[in-house]
Amino acid sequence: MIRFTIITITYNAEAVVERTLQSVLRQTYEGVEHLIIDGASTDGTLAMAQAYKEQSDACGNHKVIIQSEPDHGIYDAMNKGLTQVSGDYIVYMNAGDFLPDDNTLEQIVHRCKLTECPSEALPGVLYGNTDIVDSNGQYLHPRRLQPPATLTWRSFRHGMLVCHQAFYARADIAKNLQYDTRYRYSADVDWCIRVMHECERMGLPLYNIGIVVANYTQEGETTRHHGESLKERFDVMRRHYGFFSTAMMHLWFVIRSLTGPRHRH
């Protein structure tokens, strides 16, 4: 059975984390490992996570691991999660974000025909669509940037076309590519590009699931620190795509950000 490792990063997230936890608990697919990496929360987050673990343990379908200790930011916490992954695919579903349907993971396995692939031939990345929800988890609209029919590591020169929460990376690849913690807001962009680049090197396909696989909560660090995020993304893209191409595309990003609504990944 193909196993999914879902990593949820939390810090004082009691207002929003419950919908994330319950969306994983309700998944009908049995091959789920859920790692909750907490940054030493001081509110009710840990109590909610422990209650969720007890619920999940009682059902017996999913494995839940909780780790709580101080960290050096969200990407440091994400790296801690990477070291503990035991599934075949890894996806980050952070506090407030959630899987849209109880059978989302079942649909992914079915649509990608994962049970028919030998382990060495599994796609390097599975990716899908994302809907944006408000702070109460209510649907607002589809994510403005939509994933292309065919994705490569070069695709992100046009922006982060696939939401981080809709990007399922093969764990044997992901575990060897740590997040670059020099970046405070854009290490996920860099990481996704590096994962896709490695997939190309290994000759592995990137598979478009073709459905909404993540509900993403509007507003976050990238939105609150939009200017700093743009600077970081420029540096990420310059490193991967070269200065001239990045300068031209970033000029378009700036124009787009001034003329349209702003959303984090």
Each residue's pLDDT tens digit, 140-183: 999 999 999 999 999 999 889 999 999 999 999 999 999 999 99
Model pLDDT, residue 263: 42
User: Alpha-carbon distance 210 to 218, whole Å?
Assistant: 22
User: Alpha-carbon distance 179 to 263, whole Å?
Assistant: 22
Q: Which residue has the higher pLDDT, 235 or 250?
A: 235
Give the number of other CB atoms < 10 A from CB of residue 248: 10
Structure tokens at 237: 């893209």
What average pLDDT is seen over the chain? 92
What is the pLDDT averaged over residues 118-125?
92
pLDDT at 244 over 50: yes
Determine if the pTM surpasses 0.85: yes
Percent residues over pLDDT 70 in the chain: 92
Work out the end-to-end distance of the chain between its first and last CA atoms, rounded to an integer number of angstroms.
Answer: 30
Least confident range of 67-76, 159-168, 231-240: 231-240
pLDDT at 41 over 50: yes
Least confident range of 68-72, 87-91, 249-253: 249-253
Instruction: Identify which of 96, 107, 87 has the alpha carbon closest to the alpha carbon of residue 27.
Output: 107
Model pLDDT, residue 264: 42
Model pLDDT, residue 106: 97
What is the pLDDT averaged over residues 109-126?
93
Model pLDDT, residue 107: 98
pLDDT at 90 over 50: yes
What is the pLDDT averaged over residues 241-259?
73
What is the pLDDT averaged over residues 75-84?
97
Model pLDDT, residue 19: 97
